[in-house]
Structure 1
């Protein structure tokens, strides 16, 4: 079965668009598989997502149940990562916290990637006043540090997961728009775009069907590399009390409540910090691997 698919996907003369598309994806996978750091990153990401999805089945305890008689307990067979200041199992809170943190990050990416792609492609293809207007709006958002602007948005709304997602999304789209605009400006005068114009295709159809797909590979690389900064921003908002609110188990909020115990009960803060570190590092590894595979300038 696998050998048949391999032969079909790697055929040098595909007979259909589907075969050509699957062949390109399979070649990308083969090239990515040769990068050990990228595979390590992908493995960690898949494992983190799986642990978050199956947290109700894997968690040994309810993350919200308090046991004050067992507060700040050291790591043991009963509590592999120990307990926090309220006697809650840290391992269970890490697993459930992955659902909150990774859920926020995935939601932000789903919101900002299409927005940045659309703004950049429209600005780059139409040019003129449209380009000037959209890029000046982009420059306004780029002029402020992401965390500061996110804090301002959350403060204007109310602390919570929904407000944090909206705030991060509003501050994360400008780099994607810049990349999509640059890619669009390099291909808008290509021969195949001119051929599309001669066939009578409208400008909106050219942007949606021909230019936007050409910008996706660069955008995928940027999104993957940017996931780590989105995770850190989400954790920072939680640390500052602007993200997920107690008793919700969120990695940044867990570090905030554990900072007063860092010198004596180190395990309370180390576990969520290591979770943030490993996940961010994994996305960086995967992003570097995808850049080597998808960016023709790297080949």
Structure 2
């Protein structure tokens, strides 16, 4: 089987001999289409590089990210400190690596919370319709009616500033679009002939939703999640900048900018470098999301 995965003729066969061959053939075609999109491939490589930097931050860092050395404060980039030092003499490069762990970890935590919730609510509302649809969609509308940042700030202020509170607050304001998307997909699927056949075979509504509708909604949801990761990064950094996210001395990118913004004109590297990191991460996720959308769109090629 492993050898077959490297056989292009087997993967691209027009008449697959098994479901496994058909599944791997479809995955290969998706990867081929995605790879042909140069910006998407650059975004994918950049995202993988950021994740690897976050995972291996203890090995890549040259200094302790929270160790202070006032004798070396606000030093420009040099051989000793590749990206300079901040106002407390901490190494900016090392803090940037550990900050990737925090920022990207918050993004992944938010996605892990909101994607299943939004998918479940949207599929249930779209399949059952009626009173369930009305109630669930009105709750979704209530969350959509509030500005996301204001709602998140209110939630964090009501509990206490911190990383856990920020993740929950971002999740609370991020799930409604996923529910809307899943509902729209479900409404187009629920009356299809194969769903009617499964229903006539005696499958319960729960089984139909879990086994037949949710998998068909995943493609659109994955694209939306990937595109939203850039806004989640900016959202998390915004909460950190406003003092409602990760707290100092945590090397979160938004917090790093907040504590160093007064040095922008003179010691530019201290606030600018984490800002560039946010820009690169957001742009990479957007480029990758655009490529996924093109590859997964059935109207393409």
Corresponding residue number in structure 2 for 1:64: 66
Structure-to-structure mapping, 1:176-191, within 5 angstroms: 176-191=178-193
TM-score by length of 2: 0.97
Give the equivalent residue in structure 1 for 2:232: 230
Unaligned runs of 5+ in 1: none
Aligned to 2:257: 255
Distance in 2, Cα, partners of 1:240 & 1:4: 50
* Pairwise CA RMSD: 1.1
Give unmatched runs, 5+ long, in structure 2.
none
In 2, Cα distance between equivalents of 1:229 and 1:4: 37
1:4-24 deviation line (CA, Å, top 9, x unaligned) = 443332222223322222221
C-alpha change, 1:41 and 1:122, in structure 2 (3 Å) is: same
Please name the residue that 1:36 is paired with.
38
Aligned to 1:207: 209
Deviations 1:265-297 (A, max 9, x none): 000011100000000000000111111111224
For residues 76 and 104 of structure 2, the distance between their equivalents in structure 1, rounded to whole angstroms, comes to 27
Residue 120 of structure 1 is matched in structure 2 by: 122
Write the distance in 2 (CA, Å) between the matches of 1:206 and 1:7: 35
- What's the counterpart of residue 106 of structure 1? 108
**1:1-299 aligned within 5 A:** 1=3, 4-299=6-301
Quick check: 2:5–2:11 contact (8 Å CA) kept in 1? no
**Distance between the aligned counterparts of 1:5 and 1:174, measured in 2?**
42
* Structure 1: distance between partners of 2:7 and 2:285: 29
Q: Distance in 2 between matches of 1:105 and 1:52?
A: 13
Per mean C-alpha deviation after superposition, the further-off stretch among 123-132 and 193-202 is 193-202
TM-score, normalised with respect to structure 1: 0.98
Residues 203-246 of structure 1, C-alpha deviations (whole Å, 9 max, x = no match): 11111111111110000110010000000000000001111111
* 1:127-183 per-position Cα deviation (integer Å, ceiling 9, x unaligned): 000000000000001011111111111111111111111111111100000000000
